[in-house]
Structure 1
Amino acid sequence: MLLLDKEIHGSFFHTNKIMITKIRIYILAIFLLGPANTKLSAEIKKVAQSGYQFLKIDADARAAAMGGAFTIVGRGASSMFYNPAGMTENTASIDFFTTQTNWLSDISYYTLGITKKLGNIGVIGFSMHAADYGEIIGTQVADNTAGFVETGNVEVEASAMGISFAKSLTDRFSVGGQVKFVSQNLGKTLMPDGVEKSNKTDGLAYDFGTIYYPGIKSFRFGMGVRNFSKNFKYEDDSFPLPLTFTIGVAMDIMDFIGNFGEKNNLLFEVDAVHPIDYTERVNIGFEYGYNKMLFLRGGYKFNHDTEGLSLGLGFSLRLLGFMTNLSYSFNDAGDFSPVNRISINLSL
């Protein structure tokens, strides 16, 4: 019996050691593929190569609090903005969320999404992202003391609306995609000869992603592609949308620490991000949850030109038959004022 017990324990620890080694390899690969702090990244910055910058803004307070590391742990309606495959991760029949972001220079962003499970067919969803740029006063060059005259308020608008679908092909592998209509209106340009030119563009863009569980407890990895589209054009020069490739790994660290009970969980994610208009970067994020009611979050965006440290918290409780989640995030914005977000999520 003693020999058998030793063999069982030896086999158990050997298996755990193999799983931990595999996870370390996956995480190391992420860091190698996302050389955020290399000298090359510091010297080459591919800025000003895309338009529609509002599509890059974090659309969910939970995601923003986790440093944007949300490709894998995102679930339900909010995942449509990061990796549509995450729509399958939510067990609710209907999931709804909305977010308000108080951005820089009095700019505000509003997002919402709703998903509906269709049984074995999959999950469908609708998303919307809108920007409020506040009051912008137009001017025109003039032969006077000031050198210009005011031409009234400039109507500047930007929005995106999408339809998504996701499906679990197996109990380990999920895929998802989104087709969205994006538009941006930068107002009209009044030329010196009195002719007005419109600065408006619109068109279709596509997102898609995957999530895979290799069978090592809660460990999973996947990828996401956002804002794939043709080039857009105002007058002479064309430009792409902010196309972004992301691969990430995530797990609940408590799966490997069995001394804290089932009421505690600690999600951790690492994302390697390859944007078309900047050098590669790495986002990391964590979320500590207690009794599935209280959540503390944190994250960091490496090699980001504006953002860095992020913090947040969340609460979850059942109200009027709905599972209600309230999230808040605080994001450092360098030389600018910090960015605050509030999200509300309702599940049925």
Structure 2
Amino acid sequence: MKGRISLLFMLLLAVPVRAQTLGEAEEPETITKVGTTAAQFLKLGVGARAVALGGTFVAEASDLSALYWNPAGLARLNGSAVQLAHTQYLADIDYSFAAFGLNLGNAGTLAASLLFLDSGEMEVRTTRDPEGTGERFKVQDFALQLSYARALTDRFAIGGTAKYINERIWHSTASAFAFDIGVLFTTPFEPLRLGASIANFGPKMQMNGRDILFSTDPDPDRQGNVEVVNSAYLTDSHPLPLLFRVGLAWYALATASHRVVVLTDAAHPNDNSEYMNVGMEYSFRNLLALRGGFRNLFERDGEQGLTFGAGLNVRLDRTLRVRFDYAYADFGRLEQTHWFTFDLAF
């Protein structure tokens, strides 16, 4: 009975509650701060399995994509593993992820990863040359991440990530260091797992580089010794996309041949309205998995929605395992994306 009361108390803490003064009507919020943060590629997600589940991976994180969703999930990694993921994102943008993890036994789990986004070449256009100047440029973003996780008890694990973030637009760049932290808890009700994470906690980013430099005459109507002054545009600094997630994973069915897990996440970003994700996975003999989900429920003016996918898990010998995952994600009027992930565990 005491365990159930503790669980209920934790769940109540996980549900966002908005205080309202008695007798006053709550005014609708209209400001969501969309487009006010830097490093937007940090919000795209990682791993075809997690994407197929609608992004409900905070409480289920168990492979190297946990570096993105909840670093505490790395504590569930056995042995060593490599993960490679790629998607042709919207507008023909290449988005890739590579990670390596090593279980150190009682010392915990250590992992490193790289997130990389490449827009491809585009024409340089100006107000003077709207059809193009003949030059071409790229937008390239990356994040180098180092993560550590440890199981403090058989039910509770904690993990953290330190990351270096860099954005480049032609000859201008912005960079910052940030941190993630996450926890994973198996409740006294065994089939239920609770996870929570905070991602991208760090300073603001500001663009600098030779693209913002220019020369000007401070007073073109007068002749003097100072005809040209080297100047620079003053660029604004923008915060990172801070995101708090809390999720539940319920193992509704777990037998030797069949497993069904139902998942839900709630997210509170600093640059959009709050939203929820839901997902479900069915696996047969830990060999074939079918997944489905729905992303960003209740998000204001959101275009994301239905997701689904499948996975094939092949054990080559006692210590070597290969897994292939695919995911489809619908973006409404922006069409869809296809995600592919390769996992090697040894």
1: CA distance between counterparts of 2:170 and 2:28?
35
Cα offset, 1:28, TM superposition: 7.5
2:341 alignment partner AA: S
Stretch moving more, 206-215 or 313-322: 313-322
2:298 alignment partner AA: N
1:105 is aligned to 91
* Helix, strand or coil at the partner of 2:196: strand
Cα offset, 1:102, TM superposition: 1.4
Equivalent residues of 1:168, 1:175 under 8 A apart: yes
1: CA distance between counterparts of 2:262 and 2:27?
28
2:219 is aligned to none
Q: How many residues are treated as equivalent by the alignment?
A: 309
Cα offset, 1:174, TM superposition: 0.3
Aligned-pair identity (%): 28
2: CA distance between counterparts of 1:68 and 1:102?
18
* Helix, strand or coil at the partner of 2:51: helix
Cα offset, 1:222, TM superposition: 2.0
Please tell me whether residue 291 in structure 1 is matched to residue 275 in structure 2.
no
Aligned-residue CA RMSD in angstroms? 2.4
Task: Mark the runs of 5 or more structure 1 residues left unpaired by the alignment.
Answer: 1-14, 189-198, 256-260
Cα offset, 1:86, TM superposition: 0.1
1:268-326: CA deviation from partner (whole Å, max 9, x where unpaired): 11111001110100011111111111101011121341211100100101136521111
* Among 139, 145, 163, the residue aligned to 2:125: 139
2:75 is aligned to 88
1:50 is aligned to 37
1:65 alignment partner AA: A
Is the helix fraction higher in 1 or 2? Answer: 1
Please tell me whether residue 238 in structure 1 is matched to residue 237 in structure 2.
yes
* Helix, strand or coil at the partner of 1:120: helix
Please tell me whether residue 70 in structure 1 is matched to residue 43 in structure 2.
no
2: CA distance between counterparts of 1:147 and 1:138?
9
- Distance change in 2, residues 1:32/1:160 (3 Å): closer
* Helix, strand or coil at the partner of 1:254: strand
2:274 is aligned to 280
Cα offset, 1:181, TM superposition: 0.7
* Among 294, 313, 317, the residue aligned to 1:316: 313
* Among 173, 179, 196, the residue aligned to 1:200: 173
Cα offset, 1:202, TM superposition: 1.0
2:298 is aligned to 303
1: CA distance between counterparts of 2:130 and 2:45?
39
1:241-282: CA deviation from partner (whole Å, max 9, x where unpaired): 111000111120115xxxxx4311111111110011101000
- Distance change in 2, residues 1:102/1:274 (3 Å): same
* Helix, strand or coil at the partner of 1:80: helix
Stretch moving more, 48-57 or 299-308: 299-308
Equivalent residues of 2:56, 2:277 under 8 A apart: yes
- Distance change in 2, residues 1:147/1:181 (3 Å): closer
2: CA distance between counterparts of 1:270 and 1:29?
16
2: CA distance between counterparts of 1:136 and 1:291?
47
- Distance change in 2, residues 1:175/1:40 (3 Å): farther
Please tell me whether residue 160 in structure 1 is matched to residue 148 in structure 2.
no
Equivalent residues of 1:218, 1:252 under 8 A apart: yes
- Distance change in 2, residues 1:167/1:264 (3 Å): same
* Helix, strand or coil at the partner of 2:42: helix
Task: Mark the runs of 5 or more structure 2 residues left unpaired by the alignment.
Answer: 19-25, 208-233
- Distance change in 2, residues 1:104/1:205 (3 Å): same
1:213 is aligned to 186
Cα offset, 1:44, TM superposition: 3.9
Equivalent residues of 1:184, 1:201 under 8 A apart: yes
Q: What pairs with 1:171-186 in structure 2 (closer than 5 Å)?
A: 171-186=154-169
* Helix, strand or coil at the partner of 2:37: coil
Cα offset, 1:31, TM superposition: 5.8
- Distance change in 2, residues 1:40/1:183 (3 Å): farther
Please tell me whether residue 333 in structure 1 is matched to residue 344 in structure 2.
no
Cα offset, 1:148, TM superposition: 5.3
